[in-house]
């Protein structure tokens, strides 16, 4: 269960239940706070103590300020995925500079059903925004946290940060405002509607003091009443020119009409006001950068922490090297459209220092890691490159680097052309047509013991010298996107078949594989990758998949093989009634998306993990929806139904029961033997009936917890 912290303006998020209070040990008092290294403890600010946590080293010091009623845990802890935590903002920033966060009295965080209360001493509530500013300054002074500071602040914390910058102007050299509230919201609404919004806030408890059992009062601030104070302060001491990044949420809030309607408000109106507020904050100084985190709600630092880390990193670099602020890669350029890794939509003008380009680059997904049978781990994703220019564009190089700068992959020349494909199909593509989009299949390999948290990219391209208005292009190189490696582990499975000679006729990770090139637009919002790790199994005997001319399904050596459950699970979908196709002939009976798999079974083997089996024999399926199955149980027999040109088993893991909507998930088999590989080019070029293509190893290689790769031949025992 996720409970979003209180959001100023859209206060429906205030009306939340209070989960069970989680008790934890209070950190020991520590003083003084070291200028480098790790620190987490209580700091005495004169009669009471505040919890402070600092990591990393370097200048400027980044101070992370949480939103209303929200503790520092929102910067340090993965509250959305506690069982498989990602790198969150504070540890991510600590790789670049010194960074600290703290708990205000009465602030909380929620994780599952637990309410994690502030680790600072409680105080009587309510308080004011100016009091919170004085408190933060006292903490930084008492802990001797070295300045200058970059303040990175969320929601009401942005309101607090701007007042701090006006109150202590010599201390602040940079700002990152994350979906921040400001006094400008009041002026963006007609007076009557602003008054209605205030009444709604109050009715939902925004200014009601709530006692927390075993602690004290929950943080309570009438920040609306502080608008005039902040407005006067920023007018008297306006923000001087400095690096400023503003991030706004892109995923609209779910605001029930029945709550808004009595106050004459609508969700669309409030969403528009909040966006306008964020855009206005990007006008506080020249060359500010404004971006929309298209896959985030209000808690961008929890939904997409890598975006906030990148914004802070660029502001820090802008502080360290002011002359390079114009030349920095655009803030949060992890990707410009929607999807798992298509995160941040740039909304800055060229005045913000971002150079014009002919292309826009995004990704289908955050890189997914899987151990391969070749002894290395593979990081899989596609780059999507859109040509927004008047003439064709030719990619000339793509370099992939680890976050520490180590080169991991270089694509250029023929290798780059081979990896570049149209969105539909696998034809190698050298040029991107005007207003066209291509996909670049990215297969980055690393040793199994090499930790990789992020992949950086450097991309170069060319446009013909005589192309119309070529002078509009300000840069022929792009630094980005920066993609965090998906932390989810590989799912280990039992094989879905028995016996030897099983060829991965399609699979991961080569660009030539049919599965690796499958891309499906989903919901009008993203380009999905449903088959990246899926395998088409066809059986070989003496290097051949069938006897004679293979005109009948029965001629194929894999036809009729028992198909097995790869894990314990529940049957969630069964599709039946499809006849066998005639091998090597155009398919029939495929007229809807549901027809592609023919006779098929879907198992749920873990929450959000579905095993999909397709092209099974008519009448062979032995299970029904709702059945519980066990590992190794026979589910059906290998056939040639649906979109199939020859008998084979299509098998893979996806994160949705719909095989076209779901994203392919990394998988590996617990125990199997690599018999050899298949040379498809040699097989296609064979002369007459002479077997060609199968290359057996002198000594078969036992495999444990690896994925059978494209054109591997496996013995499953």
Q: Strands of 244-249's sheet, edge to edge?
A: 39-44, 49-55, 99-102, 61-65, 149-154, 172-178, 244-249, 289-293, 344-346
Q: Kindly report the length of the chain.
A: 717
Of the two residues 547 and 404, the one the predictor is more confident about is: 547
Mean pLDDT calculated for residue range 281-308: 90
Crossing angle between the packed helical segments 156-167 and 227-236, to the nearest 10 degrees: 40
What would the pLDDT profile of 180-223 be if each residue is shown by its tens digit? 999 989 888 888 889 999 999 899 888 999 999 999 999 999 87
Q: Of 537, 357, 369, 551, which Cα lies nearest the Cα of 463?
A: 357
Cα 317 from Cα 331, distance rounded (Å): 11
What would the pLDDT profile of 384-401 be if each residue is shown by its tens digit? 999 999 999 999 999 999
Binned at pLDDT 50, 70 and 90, residue 418 comes out as very high
pLDDT value at residue 477:
83
Mean pLDDT calculated for residue range 493-504: 98
Beta-sheet pairing, 609-616 with 649-654: antiparallel
Q: What's the DSSP call for residue 555?
A: G
Residue 309 CA to its chain's centroid (Å): 13
Bond from prior residue into 45 cis (ω within 30 degrees of 0):
no
Q: Tell me the sheet residues that pair with 492.
A: 668
Mean pLDDT calculated for residue range 233-240: 91
Q: Looking at the predicted structure, is the pLDDT value of residue 610 above 90?
A: yes
pTM: 0.55
Q: Looking at the predicted structure, is the pLDDT value of residue 335 above 50?
A: no
H or E element in which residue 575 lies: strand 569-575
Cα 184 from Cα 123, distance rounded (Å): 29
For the chain, the maximum distance between any two Cα atoms, rounded to a whole number of angstroms, is: 92
Structure tokens at 127: 């308080």
φ, ψ at 94 (rounded to 5°)? -60, -20
pLDDT value at residue 518:
96
Q: Looking at the predicted structure, is the pLDDT value of residue 15 above 90?
A: no
Cα 178 from Cα 65, distance rounded (Å): 10
Ranking 14-18, 101-105, 428-432, 707-711 by mean pLDDT, the lowest is 14-18
Binned at pLDDT 50, 70 and 90, residue 549 comes out as very high
**How many angstroms separate the first and last alpha carbons of the chain?**
43
Q: Looking at the predicted structure, is the pLDDT value of residue 338 above 90?
A: no
In three-state secondary structure terms, 560 is: coil
In three-state secondary structure terms, 273 is: helix
Q: Of 650, 556, 633, which Cα lies nearest the Cα of 599?
A: 650
Instruction: Specify burial of residue 29 (Cβ count, 10 A radius: 0-12, 13-18, 19+).
Output: exposed
Asked whether 335 and 386 are in contact (CB, 8 A), the reply is no
Q: Of 553, 544, 443, which Cα lies nearest the Cα of 503?
A: 544
Q: Looking at the predicted structure, is the pLDDT value of residue 155 above 70?
A: yes
Cα 83 from Cα 466, distance rounded (Å): 55
What would the pLDDT profile of 687-714 be if each residue is shown by its tens digit? 655 556 788 899 999 999 999 999 999 9
Asked whether 222 and 207 are in contact (CB, 8 A), the reply is yes
φ, ψ at 276 (rounded to 5°)? -60, -40
Structure tokens at 230: 């902040």
Of the two residues 5 and 437, the one the predictor is more confident about is: 437
Asked whether 417 and 406 are in contact (CB, 8 A), the reply is no
**Average pLDDT in the chain:** 89
Q: What's the DSSP call for residue 85?
A: P
Q: Looking at the predicted structure, is the pLDDT value of residue 33 above 50?
A: yes
What would the pLDDT profile of 461-494 be if each residue is shown by its tens digit? 898 878 888 888 888 888 889 999 999 999 999 9
Distances (CA, A) of 607 to 137, 370, 614, 667, 669: 46, 19, 21, 15, 19
Asked whether 309 and 92 are in contact (CB, 8 A), the reply is yes
Mean pLDDT calculated for residue range 60-87: 96
Instruction: Specify burial of residue 259 (Cβ count, 10 A radius: 0-12, 13-18, 19+).
Output: middle
pLDDT value at residue 224:
83
Cα 304 from Cα 124, distance rounded (Å): 34
Q: Strands of 20-22's sheet, edge to edge?
A: 20-22, 114-117, 108-111
Report the share of the chain in percent with pLDDT over 70: 90
H or E element in which residue 607 lies: none
Structure tokens at 495: 């094989």
What would the pLDDT profile of 649-669 be if each residue is shown by its tens digit? 999 999 999 999 999 999 999
Bond from prior residue into 148 cis (ω within 30 degrees of 0):
yes
Asked whether 639 and 620 are in contact (CB, 8 A), the reply is yes
Beta-sheet pairing, 344-346 with 216-217: unpaired
Nearby residues of 710 by Cβ (< 8 Å), 6 or more positions away: 504, 506, 507, 508, 509, 510, 512, 513, 516
Where would I find the beta strands (DSSP E) of 250-297?
289-293
Q: Of 587, 687, 682, 593, which Cα lies nearest the Cα of 640?
A: 587
pLDDT value at residue 688:
59
Binned at pLDDT 50, 70 and 90, residue 574 comes out as very high
Distances (CA, A) of 427 to 56, 438, 451, 511: 47, 11, 33, 10
Asked whether 106 and 218 are in contact (CB, 8 A), the reply is yes
Report the share of the chain in percent with pLDDT over 90: 72
Q: Looking at the predicted structure, is the pLDDT value of residue 343 above 60?
A: no
Structure tokens at 174: 């940079």
Asked whether 179 and 300 are in contact (CB, 8 A), the reply is yes
Q: Looking at the predicted structure, is the pLDDT value of residue 143 above 60?
A: yes
pLDDT value at residue 616:
98
Asked whether 458 and 399 are in contact (CB, 8 A), the reply is yes
Ranking 319-323, 455-459, 562-566, 572-576 by mean pLDDT, the lowest is 319-323
The count of C-alpha atoms lying within 13 angstroms of the C-alpha of 205, restricted to the half-sphere facing its C-beta, is: 14
Binned at pLDDT 50, 70 and 90, residue 167 comes out as very high
Bond from prior residue into 3 cis (ω within 30 degrees of 0):
no
pLDDT value at residue 283:
83
Asked whether 228 and 117 are in contact (CB, 8 A), the reply is no
Q: Looking at the predicted structure, is the pLDDT value of residue 339 above 50?
A: no
Residue 646 CA to its chain's centroid (Å): 37
């Amino acid at each position: 269960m996720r409970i979003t912290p209180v959001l100023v303006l859209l206060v429906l998020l205030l009306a939340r239940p209070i989960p069970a209070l989680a008790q934890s040990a209070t950190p020991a008092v520590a003083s003084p706070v070291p200028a480098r290294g790790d620190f987490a403890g209580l700091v005495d600010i004169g009669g009471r103590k505040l919890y402070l946590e600092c990591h990393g080293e370097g200048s400027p010091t980044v101070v992370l300020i949480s939103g209303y009623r929200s503790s520092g845990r929102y910067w340090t802890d993965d509250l959305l995925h506690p069982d498989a935590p990602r790198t969150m903002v504070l540890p991510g920033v600590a790789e670049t500079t010194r960074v600290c966060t703290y708990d205000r009295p009465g602030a909380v965080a929620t994780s599952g059903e637990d309410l994690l209360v502030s680790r600072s001493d409680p105080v009587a509530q309510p308080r004011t925004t100016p009091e919170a500013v004085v408190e933060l300054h006292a903490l930084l002074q008492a802990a001797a946290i070295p300045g200058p500071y970059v303040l990175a602040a969320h929601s009401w914390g942005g309101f607090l940060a701007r007042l701090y910058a006006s109150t202590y102007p010599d201390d602040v050299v940079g700002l990152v405002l994350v979906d921040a509230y400001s006094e400008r919201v009041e002026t963006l609404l007609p007076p009557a509607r602003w008054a209605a919004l205030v009444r709604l806030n109050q009715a939902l408890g925004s200014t009601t003091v709530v006692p927390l059992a075993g602690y004290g009062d929950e943080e309570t601030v009438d920040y609306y009443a502080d608008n005039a104070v902040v407005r006067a302060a920023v007018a008297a001491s306006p923000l001087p020119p400095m690096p400023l990044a503003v991030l706004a949420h892109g995923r609209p809030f779910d605001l029930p009409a029945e709550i808004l309607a009595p106050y004459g408000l609508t969700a669309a109106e409030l969403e528009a006001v909040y966006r306008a507020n964020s855009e206005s904050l990007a006008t506080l100084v020249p060359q500010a950068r404004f971006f929309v985190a298209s896959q985030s709600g209000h808690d961008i630092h929890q939904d997409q922490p890598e975006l906030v880390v990148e914004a802070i990193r660029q502001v820090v670099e802008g502080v360290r090297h002011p002359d390079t602020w114009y030349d920095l890669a655009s803030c949060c350029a992890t990707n410009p459209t929607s999807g798992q890794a298509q995160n941040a939509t740039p909304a800055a003008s060229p005045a913000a220092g971002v150079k014009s380009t002919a292309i826009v680059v995004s990704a289908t997904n955050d890189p997914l890691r899987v151990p391969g049978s070749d002894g290395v781990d593979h990081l899989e994703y596609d780059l999507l490159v859109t040509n927004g220019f008047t003439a064709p564009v030719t990619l000339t190089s793509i370099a992939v680097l680890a976050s520490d700068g180590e080169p991991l992959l270089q694509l250029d020349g023929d290798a780059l052309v081979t990896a570049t494909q149209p969105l539909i199909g696998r034809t190698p593509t050298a040029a991107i047509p005007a207003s066209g989009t291509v996909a670049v299949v990215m297969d980055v390999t690393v040793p199994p013991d090499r930790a990789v948290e992020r992949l950086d990219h450097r991309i170069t391209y060319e446009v013909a010298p005589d192309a119309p208005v070529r002078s509009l292009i300000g840069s022929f190189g792009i630094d980005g996107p920066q993609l965090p490696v998906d932390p989810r582990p590989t799912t280990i499975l039992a094989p879905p078949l028995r016996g030897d000679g099983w060829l991965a006729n399609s699979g991961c990770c080569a660009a030539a594989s049919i599965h690796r090139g499958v891309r499906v637009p989903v919901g009008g919002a993203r380009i999905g990758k449903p088959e990246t790790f899926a395998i088409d199994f066809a059986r070989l005997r003496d290097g051949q998949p069938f006897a004679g001319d293979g005109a009948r399904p029965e001629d194929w050596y894999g036809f009729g093989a028992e198909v097995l459950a790869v894990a314990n699970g529940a049957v969630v979908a069964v599709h039946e009634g499809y006849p066998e196709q005639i091998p090597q002939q155009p398919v029939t009976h495929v007229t809807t998306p549901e027809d592609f798999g023919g006779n098929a079974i879907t198992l749920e083997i873990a929450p959000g993990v579905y095993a999909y089996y397709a092209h099974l024999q008519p009448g062979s399926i032995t299970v029904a929806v709702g059945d519980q199955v066990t590992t190794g149980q026979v589910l059906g027999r290998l056939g040639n139904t649906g979109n199939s040109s020859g008998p084979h088993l299509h098998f893979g893991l996806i994160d949705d029961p719909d095989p076209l909507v779901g994203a392919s998930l990394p998988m590996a088999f617990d125990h199997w033997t690599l018999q050899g590989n298949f040379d498809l080019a040699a097989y296609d070029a064979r002369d007459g009936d002479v077997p060609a293509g199968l290359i057996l190893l002198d000594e078969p290689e036992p495999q444990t917890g690896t994925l059978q790769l494209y054109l591997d031949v496996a013995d499953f025992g």
